[in-house]
Every structure is written in C-alpha cells, then in structure tokens.
Amino acid sequence: MRQEYFENYVEHAFGDYKQAGFKINQIMHNYTRFFPDDLDSKVLDIGIGRGEMLTVFNNLGYRDYLGIDISPSTISFCKNIGLNCIQIQNTENYLTEHHGQFDMITLCDVLEHIEKNKVIEFAKSAGIALKNNGIIIIQVPNMQSPDPALHRYNDMTHEIGFTEHSLNQLLMLAGFSDIKFYPYEIIIGWSLKNIIRTFVRQVYLDIVRIRRLVNGDLNPKILSPVFFAVAKK
C-alpha cells in the first residue's frame, strides 16, 4: 500500500469536500447501539475518511474521542470542520504505543486496504490498544454478497476482501472473542421509495439464496454489500 495513494485521498476517493449526510444516518442506525454508555469513554476511529464517524462521536457527546489517519488530506479536511484527529505515519506503531487505552475502536472501510500478509498483525495491534473488555467494530466489503467485485475493486487501494468466515478467522487469530456479525443496512426510513426498495431487494436476495442452494454453493446468511463485526478483547 503506497503512501502516495493517500496524499490526496479526499480528492481522489471522494471527489468533494463535504461529508456524506446519508453516511452519518447509516452510522447512527447501524453502530450506536454498540457504543459505550459512558460519554467519558475513550473512543478511537481509525481511517477517518471525511470524518462521519467522528461527527457522530461528537454529536453524541463523547468527550474523549479521537480519529487517526495516514492521509494528510483527510486530516486537513476533518480538522477544518472542527473534528479531533491527528495524522500518524504508522498505524500499528501508534496502536501498540497506546497499550490498553481505548474503550472502543472503530475500523470502518480500513482492513481491505491492508496487505494480506500484514493484516493479522494490524488486527493484533488494535487489540493491544483496547482496554480489557473493550470492543472493536470492523466494517468491510462483503465478498459473499451477490456483486462483491463492485466494492472489492472500486478503490485501487483495496488489497483484500472478507467473508464472515474469513473475518472470523482473522479476529480469532488476533485474540478477539465474542465475535458477532451484522449486515450493514443502507436503506433507512419508511418512505414509499424505501419500502419498495426493501421489498424488491428481499425478493432478489431470496432468488440468490435459492440459486446458491441449487448449485450446492456456500450460502451464508449476510448478503449485504458491506457487513461488520463487533468483537471484544
């Protein structure tokens, strides 16, 4: 993973200098149920992008939140909108140097950027930075979805993709326990359009499951384009 890819990551990956409001809504819908109740908890977001997770931390009132990223453009963007974040040179080093300091770490759309031969050590370093019984939330592209290549190859910095089974293997090897997996819901709200989309999507996914059953293929439960794991140290 070459650093030059991330020098201007906001411009090259996102194309504009504004947060995605829909992503903030999706974070609220999918993740906040797993967040610590204590607003003095120390929470860390790794690979901040345009800072939507940090905005959620801030809006919920967490007093000790931080974001880290190797990209100067993402840090500059997020600092300019008042979010607490720092640029680092090496994520693993930062995490191991902050042994047992965080109650929660969020790692959304990050692991797929890590080279396969380095991803276990990267996950281990995140565990090192967690307090005992701390939790980690990891979001990745879903290689068991019907169209996995759309997410796997959408960004040239992606190195690897995951299924529930392979991500479970990784987290167990990294020392995590109580590992649970969830679909990342992207259709939120009860507008007529969303109701129709939800119904049509369910029919489509049922057809995918039947086709895989007929073919004798693996037929995992979660088929959303993105999924996430919640695990404890």
Dump the DSSP string for 50-85: TSHHHHHHHHHT-SEEEEEES-HHHHHHHHHTT--E
205 sits in which H/E element: helix 192-215
Sign of CA dihedral 82, 86, 91, 92: negative
With a cut of 60, say whether residue 12 has pLDDT above it: no
Nearest to 44 by CA among 138, 167, 124, 180: 138
With a cut of 70, say whether residue 19 has pLDDT above it: yes
Sign of CA dihedral 173, 26, 148, 113: negative
58: phi then psi, degrees, rounded to nearest 5: -65, -45
Q: Where are the domains of the chain?
A: 3-187+222-232
pLDDT digits (tens, 9 = 90+) for 150-169: 888 888 889 999 999 999 99
What is the pLDDT at residue 218?
Answer: 85
Mean pLDDT over the full length of the chain: 91
Residue 231, both tokens: 């695990």
What is the pLDDT at residue 15?
Answer: 58
- The β-bridge relationship of strands 64-69 and 85-87 is parallel
In angstroms, the CA 18 to CA 80 distance is 11
Residue 124, both tokens: 């281990």
Task: Indicate the angle between helix axes 21-30 and 52-60, nearest 10 degrees.
Answer: 60
CATH class of 3-187+222-232: alpha beta
- The β-bridge relationship of strands 85-87 and 130-141 is unpaired
The whole-number average pLDDT for the span 47-74 is 96
Contact status, residue 44 vs residue 35, Cβ threshold 8 Å: no
What is the pLDDT at residue 149?
Answer: 87
Q: If pLDDT is split at 50, 70 and 90, which confidence band does 16 have? A: low
